[in-house]
Amino acid sequence: MAWIEKLLDDTVNNDWCTKLNCTTCGAMAFKKRLRLYVDGIRLGKVYRESEPLPSWGKADADFLIAALAGYEPVELNRFSSKQDEAIMLILYVAWSHAPCDETTEQMFRSLQSFYSGAILKRMMVHYSNVKQSREHYALIHSPEYAAKRRAEKKAEKQLRHAERMRLQKIKNAAFYSAKFEN
């Protein structure tokens, strides 16, 4: 069993948090175990419990991508959402510590024919949707848009008022003409 499979099995069996931006625990149990596996496999380094773990670097990110490129889940239905979430977190760690602007495209080219490539594609689509939503939100909450909307509402209100006044004149004309005929 490859280390990535062991890590994902441990994640599922121990129910470690793997949320990307967990505000409670920061997915620290998973990230710590990931760091221990990466350094143990890549560098042959073993850390004592009290020893602080080093920060991530580009070599670590490349190692993670290479490990994910070789990973194909054996049982797709068994705990797949938890494994998918863990793979997303690994992809995020690799992406956030690779120092170039084309990181996402490079990752996708490396992973596109693997299971983790499909997950990365979903992440890219999700990010695109979120980015579009944020841009739309920023647009509709901008001062310029608010001023435009206020002007449109004012114009609509003036049109409705003008229509009410026109109908009131017709109603008054009918009332007074009927009153003076008698």
Domain residue limits, the chain: 3-131, 142-182
- Give residue-wise pLDDT tens across range 80-129: 788 889 999 999 988 887 766 677 788 888 888 888 888 889 998 999 99
pLDDT on residue 99: 65
The DSSP-derived string for 47-116 is --TTSPPPPP-HHHHHHHHHHHHT---S-SSTTHHHHHHHHHHHHHHHHHTS-STTHHHHHHHHHTTSHH
pLDDT on residue 77: 52
Residue 167 CA, chain-centre distance (Å), reads 53
Q: Are 59 and 33 in contact (CB under 8 A)?
A: no
Instruction: Show the low-confidence residues of the chain (pLDDT under 70).
Output: 1, 49, 74-79, 99-101, 182
